[in-house]
Amino acid sequence: MTKNSKAETSSRLNQLIDWATPPLAKRQKSQGLEPQHPIKLEALTGDAGFRRYFRTCQDNASWILVDAPPDTENTLGFTEIATALAANNLHVPEVIAVDIERGFMLLSDLGEQLYSTALTCAEAGTVDRLYGDAISALHRIQQCEATPAYPLPIFSPEILTREMNLLPDWLIEKQLGISLTQSDRQLFSDAFEYLVDNALEQPQVFVHRDYHCRNLMVTNTNNPGIIDFQDAVIGPITYDLVSLLKDCYIKWPDQWIEKQALLFLSEQQQRGNLADCSSEKFITWFDLMGIQRHLKAAGIFARLNQRDHKPGYLNDIPRTLSYIVETGIRYPAIQPLAKWLQQHVMPLLPEKISQQTL
């Protein structure tokens, strides 16, 4: 970070503190607390975007301050989608105060325990309970409606294809230094077209778009707490489900994943949805949707390293690509791409990633 960018970052933090002080003091007083001056902040681990999060605590109460630069982050989307989700009894941060133009937010605090942390040491029964809660919440997410002030974007063929192109552009060419031939490009293009058709064939619903273990919080009531939903869209019914079950950050046995996916289908059918959808059809939708998402995710992980100087996601690329290879081999239209990745990309990852993360 340059001297100028450090100064700009410090200036924004000071602006955020000055802005948040009055609404935070009002909230503290309403809870019978004496407001703090100055506000004491604890920096929290950031996400893949450019948002910064800070926690401030007093007695047994805590709040979150968010710096979301308006040129890169969608604060309006966050606040409006939070309203839509809360209206459907989903556990999301309360927006106590917001400045859309500057990208500042004061939020309620959902706690400190991410699903990703809880799942690493959880027993089987606890894993099933946590995922049961997350899938129950997902059913409610899919029933949400956007607010009049923020119609949700449509997950169009152009967006779906642009996301998948992140893999050849950022992982294969920039990260790994592989030059793609015209034949290679055609192989990718054919697979992408098939995956887009699969996505568009499905019922289109409210999609969180990043519904996984690092965006779910373990909470004592109305579990889970849900965060990072500002990029929600109208899109395929299996998108969030496969994001949750075929998680880029934690991997479960194939039989368990399929069981959970079919339980979701059964619940949908009990609700009067997907009446004519067979188990085989739903699993095909689910598997192929996962390939689309994992192509995007692996490309983003490489872009975070190459463009944004965030190498921490590189170690998640082998797991993410393994989903594509293992699943794609089973589908004739995707098999050529899966085999190409297995032959040309997977063998290079250990050395290339270790060079960047040492």
pLDDT the model gives residue 75: 94
Alpha carbons within 13 angstroms on the beta-carbon side of residue 301 total 24
Q: Is the peptide bond before 69 cis (omega within 30 degrees of 0)?
A: no
CATH of segment(s) 115-357: 3.90.1200.10
pTM of the model: 0.93
Q: What is the dihedral of CA 332, 336, 337, 341, to 10 degrees?
A: 130
Distance in angstroms (rounded) separating the CA atoms of residues 351 and 178: 14
CB distance 345 to 321 below 8 Å = yes
Class of domain 3-108: alpha beta
Task: Give Cβ neighbours of residue 23 (< 8 Å, ≥ 6 apart).
Answer: 96, 97, 106
pLDDT the model gives residue 97: 98
CB distance 230 to 77 below 8 Å = yes
Nearest of 187, 200, 168 to residue 334 by alpha carbon:
187
pLDDT the model gives residue 311: 92
Sign, CA dihedral 347-349-354-355, equals positive
Distance in angstroms (rounded) separating the CA atoms of residues 260 and 119: 16
Residue 177 region by backbone torsions, left for phi larger than 0, else alpha for psi between -120 and 50, else beta: left
Task: Give Cβ neighbours of residue 355 (< 8 Å, ≥ 6 apart).
Answer: none
Over residues 45-80, the pLDDT tens digits come to: 766 568 899 999 988 899 999 999 999 899 999 999
Q: Give the helix/strand (H/E) hosting 78.
A: helix 75-86
The angle that helices 317-328 and 349-357 make with each other, rounded to 10 degrees, is 160
Residues of the chain with pLDDT under 50: 1-4, 358
Residue-range domain boundaries for the chain: 3-108, 115-357
Give SS3 for 115. Answer: helix
Distance in angstroms (rounded) separating the CA atoms of residues 313 and 301: 5
pLDDT the model gives residue 147: 87
pLDDT the model gives residue 3: 44
| Exposed / middle / buried, residue 276 (Cβ in 10 Å: 0-12, 13-18, 19+) | exposed
Q: What is the dihedral of CA 147, 151, 155, 161, to 10 degrees?
A: -140
